[in-house]
Structure 1
Amino acid sequence: MSLECEDSMEKTYALGFDVYGTLVDPLALAEPLQALVGEQAARFAKLWRSKQLEYSFRRGLMRRYADFDVCTRQALRYTQQALRCELPESDQGRLLEAYLYLPLFPEVAASLSALKAQGHQLVAFTNGVEASIRALLTNVDVLSQLEDVVSVDDLRTFKPDPVVYAHLARRTEHTPNETWLVSSNAWDVIGAKAAGLRAAWVKRQPDALFDPWDVEPDIVVNGLDELPTWFAQRSG
């Protein structure tokens, strides 16, 4: 999948990077969970992440907004109940704190630096609360590579509501056609495309499937490190 070479040699874009699953790895919480829930750690981390997203989707549809930090806490409670492993409040607090220290995927920092050097406008674009995301990206030392943090919290709804993708374009002062979403979440990519943006799907897992909705990403990459070359080839 590709786009036709277009516009001038110096064409640059606004690139909105999803955070959880694209820049940082929420499933890495399986490591601290190992000491708390043993062999259920990976399952716990995966279910927690799944319910966190589900709660944001449901709240968006219901128009009963509570921010992503609330969704995360409630998903943690659900996961404990589902797996029958109730944790002390102190351990729950440490797990929630760990969300501010999720690790970057290995190629992220160098890739952001290369894309910034090409002149693209880089922002974080997230369901997360802006203050939490700024703290997280500061802790992993990439906030300085980004010009802004664009949070759905501004609109009190969640991706994939079309209004949040329009908000990204407005905040970056680019047309939708000049605005890219970069995300590892297929549903996020489909949401961006439905709203008229361009989108890169970061296929971090070889067995990941893209939903068969007759919508395609503009590019599929295995990591962010493929993006600088891709954009350079289409600008030269």
Structure 2
Amino acid sequence: MGQTLAFDIYGTLIDTQRIAATLEGWIGELAPVLARAWREKQLEYTFRRGLMGAYADFDACTEQALRYCCQMQGVTLSAGQEAELLERYRQLPAFTDAAPALDGLRADGHRLFAFSNGTAETVGGLLRHAGLEDRFEDIVSVDEIGCFKPDPRVYQHFLQRAGSKPQQTSLISGNPFDVIGAQAVGMRTVWLDRTGRGLFDPWGDKPTATIRGLKELAGILG
């Protein structure tokens, strides 16, 4: 019997660090440094806004994080470069193992959902550009309830939207905070540790399973 699978998007199916290729032509070897800092600050802003109860959508967090990180790194972008960079962030590529893994899981009878901090519009465009959109039954966005992962309400909202019970639902994510958040409401979890470093938050909460690549999912889920 198939499971309900909630796939995180940024950093799990979509490679956020590929934005460094655009940056490299403008700032050279500083590009990967800025790309990593941007991603970290983007997530920090979602955490802070969640704690403050001051929701602004993921696109706004992304834009504000970029401006902060450029200032922090002493990088000056023109208005045109900033606009181009933000547009490229909406067109990031998928990891190479994403499409074949999703196809195999659908064929095995699992229900596939995109589950993201991003807005449904932005995530839909991102998946369409990456050639993944038609693999999913639906997109579930935190924007629908105005809070971010790992707020428990986000995962409960997903379960309600998908019409699934926690024990029949698996979250697949490359983000440990996301995995821990899903486990807190009783969902099963698969942590995608692409680096193989095993660097998971030492909270005593272990993922249901850990994988190095998406092709391993079929063997774990059955």
TM class, shorter-length:
over 0.9
2:10 aligned partner, one-letter code: Y
Which deviations, in whole Å up to 9, do the C-alpha atoms of 1:51-102 show, x marking residues without a partner?
Answer: 0000001001100000000000000000110000110010000100011211
1:183 aligns with 173
Aligned residue for 1:125, secondary structure, equals strand
AA at the equivalent of 1:66:
A
Instruction: Find the counterpart in structure 2 of residue 12 from structure 1.
Output: 2
**In the alignment, is the contact (CA less than 8 A) between 2:93 and 2:129 conserved in 1?**
no
For 1:214, the equivalent position in structure 2 comes to 204
**TM-score, with normalisation over the residues of structure 1?**
0.93
1:170 corresponds to which letter in structure 2?
Q
Cα root mean square deviation, aligned: 0.7
What is the one-letter code of the residue matched to 1:27? Q
Separation in structure 2 between the aligned mates of residue 206 and residue 214 of structure 1, nearest angstrom: 19
Q: Does 1:39 align with 2:26?
A: no
Q: Confirm whether residue 154 of structure 1 aligns to residue 135 of structure 2.
A: no
Does the CA contact (< 8 Å) of 2:9 and 2:115 recur in 1? yes
Deviations 1:184-213 (A, max 9, x none): 001110000011111000001122401000
Letter aligned with residue 16 of structure 1: A
Paired with 2:26 and 2:197, the residues of 1 have a C-alpha distance of: 29
The equivalences for 1:1-236 within 5 A come to 11-232=1-222
Looking at structure 2, the residues matched to 231 and 119 of structure 1 have their Cα atoms a distance apart, in angstroms, of: 11
- State the identity %: 45
Query: When the two structures are superposed, what TM-score results if normalisation uses the length of structure 2?
Result: 0.98
- Give the whole-Å Cα distance in 2 for the aligned partners of 1:144 and 1:69: 23
Gaps of 5+ in 2: none
Structure of larger gyration radius: 1
Paired with 1:33 and 1:210, the residues of 2 have a C-alpha distance of: 29
Q: Segments of 4+ in structure 1 off by > 2 A? A: none
Q: What SS does structure 2 have at the residue aligned with 1:73?
A: helix
